Amino acid sequence: MISLPLGVKVITEERNRGVYDVEGLYPGYGQTIGNSMRRVLLSSLRGAAITGVKIKGVSHEFSTIEGVIEDVVELMLNLKQVRFKMAGEGPYQAALSVKGEKKVTAKDIKTPGELQVVNGDLHIATLSGKNSELQMDIEVSAGFGYQTVESQKKEKVDIGMIALDAAFSPVRLVNFEAENMRVGDRTDYNKLRFTIETDGSITPRNAFIEAAKILVEQFSALGQVLTGDDDRMGMTVEKPMARISMKGEDEEVSYEEKSLGTTIDELKLSNRTHNALENSGMTRVAQLVERSEDEIRDSVRGLGDKGITEIKKALGNLGLTFKQ
């Protein structure tokens, strides 16, 4: 039997950068798993980006705006770098409206409650005069990887809307190194070190977990197609995987166990509730159900009755509750 990894060890986690070691990989599996994880991290995690912009007084991208130092092409390049945290499916409409002499940054963008600008200090434009004005209607969509304007399928585009290529991926950098390590009497097992940097809309740890879940679900689907037996595999593609299980192949993973590993991102909570949990270090459902309602109130700052009710409803949808 091919042995499973010994586990994942957190080496460092600093804001948007994390380093993780996967130890005890079967000989030769380091490069295989490393390449697969890197591919998924860079191309298959959902993110949000600006896909269209309508600028007052501008009919095409090769224009200039009176009183604005940057031309429209430079403005669009800056807008492509704005990063968002999105709740829901989208697309959503945002707006930017500034007047007078001013340096315009991403925090000047007005967003609905489902959107949050992550890099608010990003420079967008410079207004040079007291009578200068810049007004934009901005469309923010969700997607995967990098998509050109041609690949984005839009049924209807408003007149004056300039479409943009979009880099949706929330992961900015993934490196991995594979080396040999000792396991028992053998010295040819692999240790894999991942370095992951994100744009701030997702933590490196959650990005790692999501990528692993995607790979497990993909290979699980292959097994189901060949065997025609979903239950024997212990999971289905439609239901969220809870965690990377260290169980033996003959042990089934219950749906409740899978639910315990669901990330709070998947619960579709309001931004306020989601941020309160994340700031308190709670990233998975298992961390919620192991605490009572009073313990949650005491340990999560900024979480009121409305937030508690919201979490209880989300847990109820998974068939779970707080600790009694």
pLDDT tens, 7-46? 889 999 988 999 999 999 999 999 999 999 999 999 999 9
Q: What angle do CA 43, 48, 49 make, to 5 degrees?
A: 100
Q: Is the pLDDT of residue 72 over 60?
A: yes
Question: Quick one: which of 261, 308, 318, 256 has its CA closest to 285?
Answer: 261
- Can you read off the two tokens belonging to residue 58? 């501008």
Q: Is the pLDDT of residue 235 over 80?
A: no
The band of 242, judged by pLDDT with boundaries at 50, 70 and 90, is very low
Q: Is the pLDDT of residue 240 over 60?
A: no
Task: Walk me through the domains of the chain, giving residue ranges and CATH numbers.
Answer: 1-45+171-253 (3.30.1360.10), 47-167 (2.170.120.12), 262-324 (1.10.150.20)
- In this prediction, residue 32 carries a pLDDT of 93
pLDDT tens, 51-60? 999 998 887 8
With a threshold of 0.85, does the pTM exceed it?
no
SS3 state of residue 206: helix
- In this prediction, residue 196 carries a pLDDT of 96
- Contact by Cβ (8 Å): 209, 241: no
Q: Is the pLDDT of residue 108 over 90?
A: yes
